[in-house]
Amino acid sequence: MEALVPFLIVCPLTFLAGFVDAIAGGGGLISLPAFLMAGLPPHMCLATNKMSSCMGTALATARFALMGYIRGARVVPCVLCALGGAALGARAALALSAEVLTWVMLVMVPLTAIYVLRPKSLQEKEGALPPRREMAVAALVAFTMGAYDGFYGPGTGTFMMIGFMTLAHLPLNEAAGLTKATNLSTNLAALVVFLLHGQVWLLLGLMAGLFNMAGAWLGVSLFASKGLKAVKPVIVTVLAIFMIRMLAELL
């Protein structure tokens, strides 16, 4: 019976994480603590969580692509920039203290929540940017969020989607699709490293991944039917969880 305990703890929470992540990103804020609660060593937590999240993100990305939310011309530059940023962020993490970034995020997260709660926030911007400028801004967002993901990580998908919408002026659907495709690439790159170092609990990762995929399927369906009405409350919830986590780390 003890052998089943990690599965009983992790699987329901990874289902919820997949649901949240498909709508607004930030599912790792739910799933990673689940693996910790299940008693896995820290590196195995990160690795096995990465496996389950890759499975859910892959399903969400495929569904967004089939719905026409992903434009191939944007994906490759953003993926390359995100991967480059993630590598740079990982190197910076070896030299800098994460506590500094935590204090910065303690200011940024409430400001982001206030912005999201504004009545007209995240609505489609009037007038798209010129194609080259749009691509450059989207690539910059991907690089910056990739660096953040490599250095610190929590809430990357949420911040990336907000960046694509507010800075690159992408519509909600396309911002969500591009976020998922970009996130999938960085997650897969990290997963390969973890697999090569034997850090993934394969059976738990696969089971959790199936639950994550089920949650992602429902999340994509809700996103497609409700749009911004579903996204806003989920983003605010993710930011609140992130804020609580940061405060807990500092106390």
User: If you average pLDDT over residues 13-37, what whole number do you get?
Assistant: 92
Residue 178's pLDDT is 96
For residue range 155-170, what is the model confidence (pLDDT) as tens digits?
A: 889 999 999 999 999 9
For residue range 87-97, what is the model confidence (pLDDT) as tens digits?
A: 888 787 767 67
- Look at residue 23 and tell me whether its pLDDT is greater than 70: yes
- Look at residue 205 and tell me whether its pLDDT is greater than 90: yes
- Residue 1's pLDDT band, with cuts at 50, 70 and 90, is low
How far is it, in rounded angstroms, from Cα 4 to Cα 52? 17
Residue 57's pLDDT is 95
User: If you average pLDDT over residues 18-28, what whole number do you get?
Assistant: 92
- What interhelical angle do 42-66 and 28-37 show, nearest 10? 150
How far is it, in rounded angstroms, from Cα 63 to Cα 69? 9
How far is it, in rounded angstroms, from Cα 233 to Cα 188? 28
How far is it, in rounded angstroms, from Cα 203 to Cα 228? 36
- Look at residue 219 and tell me whether its pLDDT is greater than 80: yes
- Look at residue 251 and tell me whether its pLDDT is greater than 70: yes
Closest CA to 74 of 150, 143, 151, 135: 135
- Residue 250's pLDDT band, with cuts at 50, 70 and 90, is confident
Question: What predicted TM-score, i.e. pTM, was given to this entire model?
Answer: 0.88
For residue range 169-180, what is the model confidence (pLDDT) as tens digits?
A: 999 999 999 999
For residue range 224-237, what is the model confidence (pLDDT) as tens digits?
A: 999 888 898 999 89
User: If you average pLDDT over residues 39-53, what whole number do you get?
Assistant: 89
- Residue 151's pLDDT band, with cuts at 50, 70 and 90, is confident
For residue range 113-144, what is the model confidence (pLDDT) as tens digits?
A: 888 888 777 776 667 788 899 999 999 999 99
Residue 98's pLDDT is 66
Q: What is the DSSP string of 95-110?
A: HS-HHHHHHHHHHHHH
